[in-house]
Structure 1
Amino acid sequence: SHLFEQLDMTARTNDLECWKLFCLVVEKQGLNAAADFADIEPSRLSRVINSLEAELGSPLLVHNRRPLQTTSFGDQAYAMAKALLAQHALMLETLKGDKDRMKGLITLAIPAGIGPLFVTPQLLEFQQIFPKIEFELITLTSKAEEVFYNHPDKVVHVSIGYGVPGTGDIVSRYSGKMEFIPCCSPGYIKKHGHIVDPSECAAHTGLSYTGGTRTKTQELQNGGVVKQLKWKKSLSFQSLSDLKNACLLGAGIAGDIPLIHCIDELEEGKLINVLPGWKRPAAGCYLYSTKHFVKYRRVKTFLDWMAEKHRELLEQIDNRVRLLA
């Protein structure tokens, strides 16, 4: 049975399940989408929101408005509810967990598309060493060091992504640098000609990544020279897999595909490195956790082990690039 099937629809503001549903409505940007995700009827979900609003005496949502909007009061309630739910999840994890056991669940947040090379084989290897460890993977939609604070109803133990060394309550393990490669398909070059300088981008179609795990690339560097990227027309993607597929189909030039996503295609000649010498600056790759969770043996062991595996992988990729050059 689903988590919310037993929900009492007369529940008031002290019911955490009601606040989970309210946060879900905000995050899914609509009652129907949230109801589909929670596997409940939209009418039941609507009654939950109405019940909260009636007890609080103020509207949380701007009703009869598409797309969904929260009121200023709703924005305040959402921020406070997220913090409350995160603290509740952390409380349960702390009370139920045995810090010294190499047993239990590790929830791992990763950018979309890196699983087949950068995550899944390593998790399987780790489970061979520690067979009582289980993993749950969630897709990272924000910067890796921020996910511990913006996931309201789930404890995240470890995240992987680009960033900077951890500060405050965030701890990190550095695993190397990721290069971003301007590239396109041989078919695009054949049709539109070679491109060697960013000033030529004004005659081409640009493919860009606009997902939440890093900022959009708007300029490239070559030594100490910086030039803006200005395209004749552009296509934006929130998924790196979609971006790469469009590039392979000859839809345009991608200014910044991470090397881990394109090394195979560069070796096979399916993609060509263009704009020689011009790149978005390399980004540091990190694994993150929190000071609270590195006290757990299973989390710290995994964090250190996975960082070493990623260092080895990034070194292998660097060697493959040198052979290409």
Structure 2
Amino acid sequence: MPNASELALFSLIVEAKSFNKAAQLAEISPAALSKKISKLEKNLGIQLLYRTTRRLSLTEAGEILYSHSKDINKQVNDAVSAVSSFSEGLSGTIKMTVPTISGELILAQAVAEFCQLHPKLSVEMRLENEFVDLIKEGQDLAIRTGVLSDSSLIAKPLLQSNWIVCCAPSYIEKHGTPQTPQELSRHNCMAYTYQDKGAHDWYFSQSDEAYYVKISGNFATNNSQALRKAALAGYGIVYVPRCSVYDDMQRGDLVQLLPEFHGRQLGIYAVYPYTKHQSQKVRLLIEHIKDCYQQQAEYF
């Protein structure tokens, strides 16, 4: 009879869609993984996978087995997580990677507060906008915004990030206030280029209507702080996450434009590798970050 480990490895191969990728996630060699699956097929007396150099697919029996075994990894991880605090406690180090905007704002304070609550624990936080390979880089946790496509990662939603249009009062004094999104085409709109799409096509919605407005301007940058400073100096209009300019708007240094129109919304997620059980310390850090975000939801 197959054991839980063999079934978990079989499910991992199906979800990773590759022996090599599954072997990497399971931290064993592809040859060892292939041997284990061959043993599983031999014990069951039936072929589970069609394997070629380019493609991996399930047999009919493999589809049935996968439908019953796909939750084994989750059940094992949940069980380990439930007792992990007894063996490890909140000590050691958590390595995490976060976007620059998040790291410079509420997130840094939330993580530092968590470390103070647990003196035996330390956190190494990297600020970078590139989404690194968590397993290869040895990272336990990432905070990410937007659509996540890597199926080997688990993503837990934390909050929605709302984008707004804003500028300095001095810009309004010189150029007036746009009354509709379409009027932005007549203004100097400065683009934030660190995004897959939408740098020069700004999204708006009102009631049941949604559309994009093409903008143009004489300055664009992939750095949010550079864009913010250009806006503070009165050089143009920007379209950015509200959290990045919230304090500026509270002081009156920036003014929100077109508040009756909704901008884009992107989910903020806590992300960690699928094959690593979620340790007690990582789980509690995620909960702490989520609580801090929700307590200051007006930022977002």
User: Quick check: 1:236 aligned with 2:185?
Assistant: no
The one-letter code matched in structure 2 to 1:220 is Y
The one-letter code matched in structure 2 to 1:140 is E
Counterpart of 2:159? Answer: 176
Partners of 1:267 and 1:295 lie apart in 2 by: 38
Counterpart of 1:288? Answer: 271
Unaligned runs of 5+ in 1: 1-82, 92-97, 319-325
Distance 1:230 1:217, change over 3 A: closer
Unaligned runs of 5+ in 2: 1-19, 29-84
Q: 1:277 pairs with 244, 247, 260, which one?
A: 260
Counterpart of 1:103? Answer: 91
Say which one has the larger Rg. 2
**C-alpha displacement of 1:170:** 1.8
Distance 1:167 1:115, change over 3 A: closer
Q: Which runs of structure 2 are paired with 1:184-263 in the superposition (5 Å)? A: 184-212=167-195, 216=199, 218-223=201-206, 224-254=208-238, 256-263=239-246
Partners of 1:163 and 1:232 lie apart in 2 by: 24
Per the normalisation by structure 1, the TM-score is 0.60
Distance 1:234 1:272, change over 3 A: same
Q: Deviations over 1:243-298 (max 9, x none)?
A: 111111111111x2211111111121111111332343222222111233343232
**C-alpha displacement of 1:115:** 2.7
Q: Which runs of structure 2 are paired with 1:1-325 in the superposition (5 Å)? A: 100-142=88-130, 146-148=131-133, 152=136, 154-164=137-147, 168-212=151-195, 216=199, 218-223=201-206, 224-254=208-238, 256-314=239-297, 316-317=298-299
Q: Deviations over 1:163-209 (max 9, x none)?
A: 35787432222222111110011111111111122222222111121
Distance 1:293 1:310, change over 3 A: farther
RMSD: 3.2
Per the normalisation by structure 2, the TM-score is 0.64
Greater length-normalized contact order (CA 8 Å, ≥ 6 residues apart): 2
Q: Report how many residues are paired.
A: 223
Identical amino acids, percent of aligned pairs: 21
Q: Deviations over 1:100-133 (max 9, x none)?
A: 3422221111111333432222122211222122
Partners of 2:143 and 2:295 lie apart in 1 by: 15
Moved more, 105-114 or 291-300: 291-300
